[in-house]
Amino acid sequence: MTMSLPPIETNLNLRSIAETAGDDLLRGFQKRELWGRLAWLDVKRRYRRTTIGPFWNSITLAIYVLTVGTVGAAIWHQNIYDYLPFLVSGMIVWTLVSSIINESCSLFIAGQSLFRNIQLDYSVLAYAMVWRNFLVLLHNFVVYFLVVLVLKPSLLCATALLAVPGLALVLVNGVWISLLLGMLCLRFRDVPQLVSSIMQIAMLITPLFWPADTLTGIKQFVFVDLNPLYHAVDVVRAPLLGRVPEAISYGAMIAMTIGGWWLTYAMFKRFRKRIAYWS
Amino acid sequence: MATIILENVNAHFPIYGQQRSLRKALFQRATGASIEHEGKNNDRLSVKALSDISLTLKDGDRVGLIGHNGAGKSTLLKLMAGIYEPVSGTIKVEGRVTPLFDTMPGLDREDTGYENILTSGVLIGMTRRQIEAKIPEIEEFCELGEYLTLPVRTYSTGMTMRLGFALVTAMDPGVLLMDEGFGTGDLRFAERAEARMKSFVGRSSIMVLASHSDRTIRTMCNKAILMESGRITASGPVDEICDQYYQSVHAAAMAERQVKPSAKASSSGYSASGAGAMERIDGDGSIENVGLTDRLRRTNGTARFTRITARDSNGNSRWSFSPDETVTFRFEYKILERVSNLAFLFRLNTTPPGGASEIIFADMHEILSTEAVEAGYEGSVELSLKLQTLMPNNYLPYVWLGRTSNAGGYDVVDSNVGLPALTVNSSVEKEYRFGFVSLPYEARKSGTPAEAAVMKVGV
């Protein structure tokens, strides 16, 4: 039995409840207050009742860089004054990139309790996650400043400011990656395992512990030039080490931004309304 | 002006990578949604949660969604809220929609009360400024005082609930969608909460409330929609639909008893009004030859009930009473083969809200004879029952004759002969009470005239 429909009134205020993907992305972004708060609460949550809070991350990173850096400098025959800043800046960016990728996998799996109970633009979860990792990055930057101030203050020059656009590129890519991986992992629960395996290996084959030019020829082409993670790290790391990133890195990042967003938008448009059903 | 229009809305939930055991469990949900096989090889399993829903809601509608667990009430609400999008069909709304399915979304027990107010408030769509403006009101209502500056983990359940309730009812609802899990459908809340709830609902342009308690729906709504297996089976004025629902709960209970558990449990095997099952008892209550297959399967048949009637104090036969009346049941039986002793049991079963399976509500057990009773003996039991201790509800009778040791039955009748439910009607216009028993208590109230100070309630 159905309730009868009224005669069709030309009611302009009547809108379809179905949102478009574009609405979701834009409206979600406008809710800065919401994703900002979600991100901040998440940071707080992890370090609650600790005295130094998120700086635990930084301390871990500092110890890691000092110990691994000392050993690494010997292994790769590097000057420690060059090697430590190289390692610390690389690790800071790597932490950002790899956390975004790893956490993307649980983006919608962990967010179910929210979007199944309230009206929530899915993109809010992605913005919150990327923003949270950015906040962690800011804490880690303290380690970079300390290391550089002690070992090589000359690195803190105008070129370092180029890290800002580089970082922006990484974050913009982070959003599409989190949406795309988030959907994929929600639907296919094997993908998170796969991603975490790949990221573990990627950490070793991406030039983080050794300079990119250690590799030559075809090896350099495969592990450096074709490695998107290298470009993502280098657009931020290079300025922090006083050099301008290579054009190929910017090119790769811009291409990834365009290609990635195009793919994600298409997928998001197609499958956005299935997200609640997949969860 | 607010409107919600649904046209031919369907929703299916795909099931991915499930174990067989869960699949089985789903199939056994007699009242739930139907499960379909999709895809090329029928290998994709999906739960058909809603089929072909069309409805129009307008300003001022207070609509109750009623039905069993799994009938699709919550799914329908979530579709209206835009949380799920229909697989096919369209949903159009005018006005802001406020879904309240969770008392405090995003609640973090480690955060303080104030912090949680902010988090939940932002999540349900208020801005920081709006929330801050509401804080004095929330503080006043929840009466948590200093506790608001402490982590929520130090709160009792009731305090947390009060906080959530104070927060959400502070907002401006627009189109309000509530699931009964939200906890405010619970009218046992303090009187103050009830008043606040009323004004909150009153401020909404449309309210849709899902509940399987027809009491809640009757007190809060003016229209109702009855759902069954993902379909709307009836809609209209609240009282009419709730009556129909109650009858279907009763009929379902009877149908369940008739269909053996091994048989395919069908969700729509009974008619909504339950009339089919009731016709089987004759007008004068004679049941000698009714439902014998079931009776003889369950008992050895050495004795037999021949007639069962229920009468009021004037001798009129009926099964529906008000709580201040006394009902007199008369059970006539005859002994077909000699029995060594004879006991009688009259049992009232009831179905808790939600269409869960029946529970035994009360047993009345009498020993009729400790000696042997010869074949051909015809006897009767008359049982008078004052109804004042029963809450308004439907009670399903079950009558049994057997050995005094309870070890063997001679005859048993219940829905197998289509015994009607004993209905106790409410004596008040709006029922605010729940439960099964009316306790005989006295309430002394201060601040009222002396004559009214002592009041007998429960009759």
pLDDT along chain B (459 residues), means of 10: 88 70 50 58 72 90 87 89 88 86 84 91 88 91 89 86 86 85 50 80 91 77 90 89 77 55 36 36 72 79 89 87 89 89 90 69 89 88 88 87 84 84 79 77 71 47
Distance CA B80, CA A244 (A): 53
User: Looking at the 3D structure of chain A, how many domains does it have?
Assistant: 1
Q: Is residue A9 a part of any domain in this protein?
A: no
**Which among A17, A45, A277 has CB closest to B82?**
A17
Mutate to test the interface with A, among B83, B124, B245 (most CBs of A within 10 A): B83
Q: Any alpha helices (H) in chain A, and if so which ranges?
A: 21-30, 32-46, 55-75, 80-104, 107-115, 122-151, 163-187, 191-205, 217-220, 228-240, 247-271, 275-278
Domain boundaries, chain B: 3-237, 280-424
List the domain range (segments joined by +) for residue A176: 21-278
Q: Is residue A199 a part of any domain in this protein?
A: yes
Q: Which residue of B has its CA nearest to A42?
A: B108
Task: Count CB-CB contacts under 10 A for residue A112.
Answer: 14
Give CA B130 to chain center in angstroms: 38
Q: Which residue of A has its CA nearest to B124?
A: A118
Backbone angles phi, psi at A79, to 5 degrees: -75, 130
CA B296-B297-B299 angle, to 5 degrees, is: 60
With CB atoms and an 8 Å threshold, state whether B3 touches A11: yes
Nearest to A54 by CA among A40, A67, A68, A75: A40
- CA-to-CA separations, B232 to A84, B54, B406, in angstroms, rounded: 69, 8, 45
Q: Does B10 touch chain A (CB under 8 A)?
A: no
Task: Count CB-CB contacts under 10 A for residue A68.
Answer: 15
The residue with tokens 């339950």 is B274
Q: Which residue of B has its CA nearest to A11?
A: B94
Sorted by sequence, the CB contacts under 8 Å of residue A278 that are 6+ apart come out as A108, A183, A186, A187, B14, B16
Distance CA B161, CA B152 (A): 11
The CATH number of domain B3-237 is 3.90.1150.10: no
B76, containing H or E segment: helix B73-80
With CB atoms and an 8 Å threshold, state whether A15 touches B97: no
Q: Does B289 touch chain A (CB under 8 A)?
A: no
The tokens for B57 are 């809601």
Chain A residues closer than 8 Å to B76 by CB: none
Q: Could you give the maximum distance between any two Cα atoms of chain A, in Å?
A: 82
Q: CATH topology of B3-237 equal to that of B280-424? A: no
Beta bridge partners of B369: B342
Q: Which amino acid is residue A117, in one-letter code?
A: N
Q: Quote the pLDDT of residue B272.
A: 32
> What phi-psi label fits residue B228: left (phi over 0), alpha (psi between -120 and 50 degrees) or beta?
beta
Q: B6 and A269 in contact (C-beta within 8 Å)?
A: no
Distance CA B261, CA B263 (A): 5
Q: Which amino acid is residue B314, in one-letter code?
A: N
Chains A, B: CB contacts within 8 A come to: 107
> pTM, whole model, 2 decimals?
0.69
Backbone angles phi, psi at B344, to 5 degrees: -130, 140
Measure in Å the smallest separation between the Cα of B388 and chain A Cα atoms. Answer: 38
Sorted by sequence, the CB contacts under 8 Å of residue A193 that are 6+ apart come out as none
Q: Quote the pLDDT of residue A89.
A: 94
- CA-to-CA separations, A24 to A13, A126, A163, A263, in angstroms, rounded: 20, 11, 30, 16
Q: Does A118 touch chain B (CB under 8 A)?
A: yes
- Whether the complex's predicted ipTM is more than 0.90 is answered with no
Between helices A191-205 and A163-187, what is the axis angle to 10°?
150
Distance CA B269, CA B283 (A): 25
Distance CA B330, CA B314 (A): 14
Distance CA B70, CA B65 (A): 12
Distance CA B198, CA B62 (A): 12
Q: Is residue A2 a part of any domain in this protein?
A: no
A167 band by pLDDT with thresholds 50, 70 and 90: very high
Q: B64 and B209 in contact (C-beta within 8 Å)?
A: yes
Sorted by sequence, the CB contacts under 8 Å of residue B384 that are 6+ apart come out as B326, B327, B328, B329
Distance CA B290, CA B305 (A): 10
**Which among A3, A11, A45 has CB closest to B108?**
A45
With CB atoms and an 8 Å threshold, state whether B122 touches A37: yes
Nearest to B270 by CA among B248, B245, B291, B290: B248
The CATH homologous superfamily of the domain defined by B280-424: abc- transporter (atp binding component) like domain (2.70.50.60)
Measure in Å the smallest separation between the Cα of A73 and chain B Cα atoms. Answer: 44
Beta bridge partners of B326: B386
Q: Under DSSP, is residue B233 helix (H, G, I), strand (E, B) or coil?
A: strand
pLDDT at A57 > cutoff 50? yes
Sorted by sequence, the CB contacts under 8 Å of residue A195 that are 6+ apart come out as A101, A102, A104, A105, A181, A185
Q: Does B85 touch chain A (CB under 8 A)?
A: yes
Backbone angles phi, psi at B360, to 5 degrees: -75, 125
**Which among A34, A41, A114 has CB closest to B108?**
A41
**Which among A3, A120, A277 has CB closest to B13?**
A277
Distance CA B44, CA B388 (A): 54
A145 band by pLDDT with thresholds 50, 70 and 90: very high
Sorted by sequence, the CB contacts under 8 Å of residue B270 that are 6+ apart come out as B248, B251, B252, B254, B255, B276, B277
Q: A105 and A64 in contact (C-beta within 8 Å)?
A: no
A271 band by pLDDT with thresholds 50, 70 and 90: very high
Task: Count CB-CB contacts under 10 A for residue A56.
Answer: 14
**Which among A1, A15, A187 has CB closest to B93?**
A15
The tokens for A48 are 């609650």
The tokens for B395 are 């009670």
Q: A196 and A102 in contact (C-beta within 8 Å)?
A: yes
- CA-to-CA separations, A204 to A144, A170, A199, A225, A232, in angstroms, rounded: 21, 20, 9, 16, 15
Q: Is residue A3 a part of any domain in this protein?
A: no
Distance CA A221, CA A138 (A): 32
pLDDT at A7 > cutoff 60? no
The residue with tokens 């970079």 is A144
Q: Under DSSP, is residue B10 helix (H, G, I), strand (E, B) or coil?
A: strand
